[in-house]
Chains A and B, each alone.
Chain A
Amino acid sequence: MHDLIQYIQSYLGSDKTPGVAGNFFWATVYVLLVFVGLSVAVIAMNWLERKILAHMQVRLGPMRVGPHGLLQPIADALKLLLKEDIIPDGADKVVFWIAPFIVVLAAFTVFVVVPFGPTHAITDMNIGILFMLGVSSLSVLGIVTAGWASNSHYPLIGALRSSAQMVSYEVAMGLAVVSAILMTSLNATNTGTLSMIGIVEAQKDQQVWFLFKFFPLGIIAFVIFAIAMVAETNRAPFDLPEAESELTAGFHTEYSGFRWSLFFLAEYSAMIAVSSIAVTLWLGGWLRPFPNLLQGATADLVFSLIPGVTFLFLGAICFYNTARMPKHPLFRIQTIGLAGFGAVLALIGLVLFVPVVRLWVSDIFWFSAKVAVFMYLYIWYRGTFPRYRFDQLMKVGWKVLLPTGLALLILTAMVGMRAELIAQVKEALHL
């Protein structure tokens, strides 16, 4: 028992991730924390997407279940779990059963290497970004098998579209990622890294987010990735695999109840995963804005207060809307509920002001805030852009993004090696 407590305590104060330190206990704790955090994020995204889309279309969105529909995702989840689980008569039962699990496993496994902070990751791998791209590319297998196993026309067409789309956009995505990785090698030893934590630390050392490195090359790479990542996650405007107007629901038409909710879970956690890649590679990961420009105790204090202020602000919005609730007796429980929700948010905000918590949470907060921007963009795209036609989709992927990515890769390498290149040209011209 004493050994166990010492073993648990031995990790505290370590400057490594639990996976690298080889501490099973904290690795398990981190895995559970990431899993719970992801599930909460997916539930929150479900509510936010419906609300934000509704407000973009001048509707109210869910309003009935709980104050402002806050309990709607929980009601939805209960409904899905209680629904009848249907397996079509002609379906390939084993493959039909496995497919949702492949998608969920692929979507959740990638979070093993996502760096929420210098020590706040489950583990750090030498092949971090390669691992993320590889495992997330396995999810297409689940989609393809789901479409085929349903033994129905719409799912099969959806699966074929999905596999063609994901394979073609992976190429452009890979080229954009490589150009960012090239930038990590611009240090004293000329050694790059694929490790997710290493990539963020390279941005810290070079004192610039890779988004602004070699302007405009970094931004172009980022834009290629941002387009390809929407296509990779099958979201609007690239949601052809599940185009409602043409294919009812695409590859998961025949799925119902719990299995369908697994696809839903996987889609949203895959969105969070690719957003985390974008944040890590181009937006400085867990680094707060201006870590080098605004140094010193005052700036540190101001930036570390932002998480708490954010939660207090959210709580204040809740209280404002509590005051605006209808005064009818029927709305009394909803009003109390909204006030309670605001109180919880404000309490979280107050806890985030405690110096120890502030220190622990600031990197997680900045990472999550950057990812949240991407999640909002996903919803915004869905509310703004019409769906691409399939030939347009292929044209964008192969004729625009791929050549741009190739040119970008060569240009990034040339700019990165410009000193050596100039020296070689001078030598060749005998200058």
Chain B
Amino acid sequence: MNPSLTQNPPVATSFFFYGIAAIMIIGGILVITRKNAVHSALALITTLLAQAALYLMLYAPFVAGVQIILYAGGIMVLFLFVIMLIAIERNMKERQFNKQWLIGIVAAGALGGLFIAVYTTVTRTASGSKTIFPLGSSSYAEGQNTQGIAALLFSQQAGTYMFAFEIASLLLLVAIIGAVVMAKKRI
């Protein structure tokens, strides 16, 4: 009997990774090159969904589910809601401009350098084999992912991330208040 048929096939193959990464990059490029804001938003949704697929490959189904609900299903709907009310015809005729390209290039270069640095160090430590994923990652129990996150957040022994999590949500609140203050001159 062929043993490869009965065993669970690995999910995190590099074949899938390259496909999903290509979708993400193409989506990202489309977001900044489309003149039509709705097309940009749809490309951004594609990118976010591909990102959820990447989380799945990293054996983090809970994060993937939250990514779909919050970003693709919640925030992007509000984006589209606002964009659709703007008259798009005028934006289509205007020439696109970008005055921050220098800073943009510096930031993109720094981020790319960081990624390359991470990639090279990971492949060096992972017992010599050329793999993007460190070998330890596949040992996480996929079936206990949600329970694991809950233990990290809430349990009294290991609940060390609760404070950081709440602080991050406070940051979002500050951003929302800032947007309201900027949008409304008189509150």
Residue with the greatest number of chain B CB neighbours at <10 A, chosen from A10, A125, A193:
A125
Instruction: Kindly state the separation between the CA atoms of A126 and B66 in the bound complex, as whole angstroms.
Output: 13
> B1-14 toward A: CB 8 Å interface, digit per residue (1/0)?
11001111100000
> B29-65 toward A: CB 8 Å interface, digit per residue (1/0)?
0000000101100100100000000000000011011
Instruction: Kindly state the separation between the CA atoms of A94 and B42 in the bound complex, as whole angstroms.
Output: 11
B77 at interface by CB-CB < 8 Å: yes
Instruction: Kindly state the separation between the CA atoms of A254 and B25 in the bound complex, as whole angstroms.
Output: 33
CB-nearest residue of chain B to A135: B68
Query: Which of A69-77, A156-164, A306-314, A401-409 lies on the face that meets chain B?
Result: A156-164
CB-nearest residue of chain A to B8: A22
A380 at interface by CB-CB < 8 Å: no
Please state if B144 and A163 are interface contacts (CB–CB under 8 Å). Answer: no
Taking a contact as CB atoms closer than 8 A, the residue among B61, B69, B77 that contacts A133 in the complex is B69
A window 366-422: CB within 8 A of B: none
- Answer whether A140 and B6 are a contact pair too, CB < 8 Å, given A3-B1, A133-B69, A134-B69: no
A194 at interface by CB-CB < 8 Å: yes
> A110-144 toward B: CB 8 Å interface, digit per residue (1/0)?
00000000000000011100110111011011001
Taking a contact as CB atoms closer than 8 A, the residue among A6, A22, A138 that contacts B68 in the complex is A138
Supplied contacts A127-B145, A144-B77, A170-B74, 6 more A-B pairs, CB within 8 Å:
A95-B38, A126-B142, A134-B65, A134-B69, A140-B73, A141-B73
**Distance in Å: Cβ of B49 to nearest Cβ of chain A:** 8
A323 at interface by CB-CB < 8 Å: no
Please state if A95 and B39 are interface contacts (CB–CB under 8 Å). Answer: yes
Query: Which of B78-86, B101-109, B123-131, B173-181 lies on the face that meets chain A?
Result: B78-86
B76 at interface by CB-CB < 8 Å: yes
Residue with the greatest number of chain B CB neighbours at <10 A, chosen from A95, A144, A147, A167:
A144
Chain B residues with CB under 8 A of A22:
7-9
**Distance in Å: Cβ of A72 to nearest Cβ of chain B:** 36
**Chain A interface, number of residues (Cβ within 8 angstroms):** 37
Please state if A95 and B69 are interface contacts (CB–CB under 8 Å). Answer: no
CB-nearest residue of chain A to B148: A126
Chain A residues with CB under 8 A of B6:
7, 10
Please state if A127 and B61 are interface contacts (CB–CB under 8 Å). Answer: yes
CB-nearest residue of chain B to A20: B143
Chain B residues with CB under 8 A of A135:
68
Q: How large is the interface on B (under 10, 10 to 19, 20 to 34, 35 or more residues)?
A: 35 or more
- Answer whether A148 and B38 are a contact pair too, CB < 8 Å, given A3-B2, A164-B81: yes
- Answer whether A163 and B77 are a contact pair too, CB < 8 Å, given A3-B5, A141-B45: yes
Please state if A194 and B38 are interface contacts (CB–CB under 8 Å). Answer: no
Chain B residues with CB under 8 A of A6:
1
Please state if A125 and B80 are interface contacts (CB–CB under 8 Å). Answer: no
Chain A residues with CB under 8 A of B66:
130, 134
Chain B residues with CB under 8 A of A191:
147
Q: Which 3 interchain pairs have the tightest Cβ spacing?
A: A137-B73, A134-B68, A130-B65
B72 at interface by CB-CB < 8 Å: yes
Chain A residues with CB under 8 A of B73:
134, 137-138, 140-141, 170
Please state if A138 and B143 are interface contacts (CB–CB under 8 Å). Answer: no
B146 at interface by CB-CB < 8 Å: yes
Please state if A167 and B61 are interface contacts (CB–CB under 8 Å). Answer: no
Please state if B77 and A160 are interface contacts (CB–CB under 8 Å). Answer: no
Instruction: Kindly state the separation between the CA atoms of A249 and B64 in the bound complex, as whole angstroms.
Output: 35
Please state if B147 and A163 are interface contacts (CB–CB under 8 Å). Answer: no
Please state if A138 and B144 are interface contacts (CB–CB under 8 Å). Answer: no
Instruction: Kindly state the separation between the CA atoms of A160 and B66 in the bound complex, as whole angstroms.
Output: 24
Chain A residues with CB under 8 A of B146:
126-127, 130, 193-194
A276 at interface by CB-CB < 8 Å: no
**Distance in Å: Cβ of A19 to nearest Cβ of chain B:** 11
Taking a contact as CB atoms closer than 8 A, the residue among B5, B36, B64, B68 that contacts A7 in the complex is B5
Please state if B42 and A145 are interface contacts (CB–CB under 8 Å). Answer: yes
CB-nearest residue of chain B to A137: B73
Chain A residues with CB under 8 A of B69:
130, 133-134, 137
A92 at interface by CB-CB < 8 Å: yes
Instruction: Kindly state the separation between the CA atoms of A193 and B61 in the bound complex, as whole angstroms.
Output: 13
Instruction: Kindly state the separation between the CA atoms of A141 and B39 in the bound complex, as whole angstroms.
Output: 12
- Answer whether A141 and B76 are a contact pair too, CB < 8 Å, given A7-B6, A126-B142, A127-B65: yes
Instruction: Kindly state the separation between the CA atoms of A135 and B73 in the bound complex, as whole angstroms.
Output: 8
Instruction: Kindly state the separation between the CA atoms of A6 and B69 in the bound complex, as whole angstroms.
Output: 40
**Distance in Å: Cβ of B149 to nearest Cβ of chain A:** 10
CB-nearest residue of chain A to B141: A126
**Distance in Å: Cβ of A181 to nearest Cβ of chain B:** 10
**Distance in Å: Cβ of B107 to nearest Cβ of chain A:** 29
Please state if B80 and A148 are interface contacts (CB–CB under 8 Å). Answer: yes
Instruction: Kindly state the separation between the CA atoms of A95 and B84 in the bound complex, as whole angstroms.
Output: 13
Taking a contact as CB atoms closer than 8 A, the residue among B5, B39, B61, B72 that contacts A125 in the complex is B61
Please state if B5 and A148 are interface contacts (CB–CB under 8 Å). Answer: no
Taking a contact as CB atoms closer than 8 A, the residue among B64, B72, B80 that contacts A138 in the complex is B72
